[in-house]
């Protein structure tokens, strides 16, 4: 079986490499990532992972893996910041409080069955000063990241508590991914 990664994220490729998985090919699915009206964070991230996996054409000898990650404060979904002002707003909202990082994985195997899992990680940030927010925004690391931060980068210094999957916050929960790949018949060696 050949693995198709439905993502262009270098972080997802790096996380797969940690469990000895190298995709045979990459595909970037083009789907609408806007939340549906009234959609809660967990079903939202699960829907996106499944839609991404199903949007990629698959040969009979291929397994498709897709993922999506979002940050939520209560019922509010924090996607990728639109600009620096949006990034500042997100960091101010996360400052000194807990939030959830939902990371969904979907694997579609030869049987066409979509297997899914969601990792829910609770992350608590320290109270951020205006100076810390300014420095983080100026560094550009948070742009293009769910919730406006990269836990594998400088933002790790903001985390005072984490319960769940660190790799899920990065972008792909490795434990759940491995289980789904095995269930779909992918040989992990």
Please count the other Cβ atoms lying within 10 Å of the Cβ belonging to residue 11. Answer: 17
Residue 117: φ, ψ to 5°: -150, 150
Q: CB–CB of 41/104 below 8 Å?
A: no
- Annotated catalytic residues are 68
Please count the other Cβ atoms lying within 10 Å of the Cβ belonging to residue 61. Answer: 9
Distance (Å, whole) CA 177 – CA 11: 14
Instruction: Report the SS3 class of residue 36.
Output: coil
Per-residue DSSP letters for 120-185? EEEEEEPPPPHHHHHHHHHHTTTTTSGGG--TTTGGGGGEEEEES-HHHHHT--HHHHHHHHHHTT
């Amino acid at each position: 079986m050949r693995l198709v990664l439905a993502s262009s994220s270098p972080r997802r490729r790096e996380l797969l490499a940690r469990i000895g998985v190298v995709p045979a090919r990459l595909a970037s699915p083009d789907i609408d990532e806007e939340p549906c009206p009234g959609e809660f964070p967990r079903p939202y991230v699960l829907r996106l992972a499944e839609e991404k996996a199903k949007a990629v054409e698959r040969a009979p000898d291929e397994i498709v893996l897709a993922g999506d990650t979002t940050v939520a404060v209560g019922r509010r979904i924090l996607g990728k910041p639109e600009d620096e002002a949006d990034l500042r707003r997100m960091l101010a909202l996360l400052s000194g409080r807990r939030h959830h990082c939902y990371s969904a994985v979907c694997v579609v195997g030869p049987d066409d069955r979509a297997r899914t899992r969601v990792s829910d990680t609770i992350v608590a940030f320290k109270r951020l000063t205006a100076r810390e927010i300014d420095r983080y925004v100026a560094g550009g690391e948070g742009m293009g990241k769910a919730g406006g931060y990269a836990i594998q980068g400088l933002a790790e210094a903001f985390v005072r508590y984490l319960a769940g999957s660190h790799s899920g916050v990065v972008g792909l929960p490795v434990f759940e991914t491995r289980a789904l790949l095995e269930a779909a018949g992918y040989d992990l060696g």
